[in-house]
């Protein structure tokens, strides 16, 4: 055999491919759940940003604003309460659409819960105050994430406040927020 030849033998190549395929079979499921988690974090962050925008617009302009299930043409009450269908921020006094978030293309389920009543909109008065709400996002892994909206308009991400922690995010009354 020529000592100057630099290359792989068939056996070396097959062993390398075998090792790579084993590593990929271990890494791929983790990568998929990583992608799902990051996607749901991005969606919940988008909602928090738009809720804050609606609140700030209400306080800045001194007029009521609404964030609701809808698109660039306004609120769509016939769409139900599926926030994954997209939402719009609207100036209540003029009806002007201030901001639009497009439909969420994943199979995540985004709902708004206040007690047992589902709602398709949230109103901020001219001071930025609103009725309390819990927005829940259930991702493809059935992991719940939530945004909590207080009466004063404070918007925050739900965290696990139980002691000891159980890995489930809690609402303001420390009730676990779960996905079916």
Residue 137's pLDDT band (boundaries 50, 70, 90)? Answer: confident
Does residue 117 surpass a pLDDT of 50?
no
Would 94 be classed as within a structural domain? no
**Domain with 113 in it:** 11-61+105-157
Would 147 be classed as within a structural domain? yes
Would 117 be classed as within a structural domain? yes
CATH code of 41's domain: 3.55.40
Query: How many residues are recorded in the chain?
Result: 180
Please give the pLDDT value at position 170.
81
Please tell me the total count of domains within the chain.
Answer: 1
Helix and strand numbers (H, E) in the chain are 1, 10
| pLDDT-above-70 percentage for the chain | 89
Would 179 be classed as within a structural domain? no
Would 47 be classed as within a structural domain? yes
Q: Closest Cα to residue 69, out of 96, 41, 40, 102?
A: 102
Q: pTM of the prediction?
A: 0.79
Would 164 be classed as within a structural domain? no
Q: How far is the first Cα of the chain from the last one, in angstroms, to the nearest whole number?
A: 65
What would the pLDDT profile of 26-79 be if each residue is shown by its tens digit? Answer: 888 788 888 888 988 999 999 999 999 999 999 999 999 999 887 777 777 655
Please give the pLDDT value at position 118.
53
Please give the pLDDT value at position 146.
87
């Amino acid at each position: 055999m020529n000592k100057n030849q630099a290359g792989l033998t068939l056996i070396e190549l097959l062993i390398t491919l075998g090792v790579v395929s084993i590593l990929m079979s271990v890494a791929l499921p983790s990568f998929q759940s990583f992608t799902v988690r990051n996607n749901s974090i991005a969606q919940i962050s988008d909602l928090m940003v738009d809720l804050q925008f609606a609140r700030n617009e209400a306080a800045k302009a001194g007029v009521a604003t609404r964030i609701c299930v809808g698109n660039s043409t306004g609120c769509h009450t016939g769409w139900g309460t599926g926030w994954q269908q997209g939402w719009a921020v609207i100036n209540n006094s003029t009806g002007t659409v201030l901001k639009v978030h497009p439909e969420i293309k994943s199979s995540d389920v985004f709902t708004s819960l206040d007690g047992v009543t589902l709602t398709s909109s949230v109103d901020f008065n001219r001071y930025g105050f609103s009725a309390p709400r819990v927005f829940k996002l259930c991702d493809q892994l059935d992991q719940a994430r939530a945004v909590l909206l207080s009466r004063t308009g404070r918007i925050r991400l739900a965290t696990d406040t139980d002691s000891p922690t159980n890995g489930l995010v809690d609402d303001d009354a420390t009730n676990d927020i779960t996905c079916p």
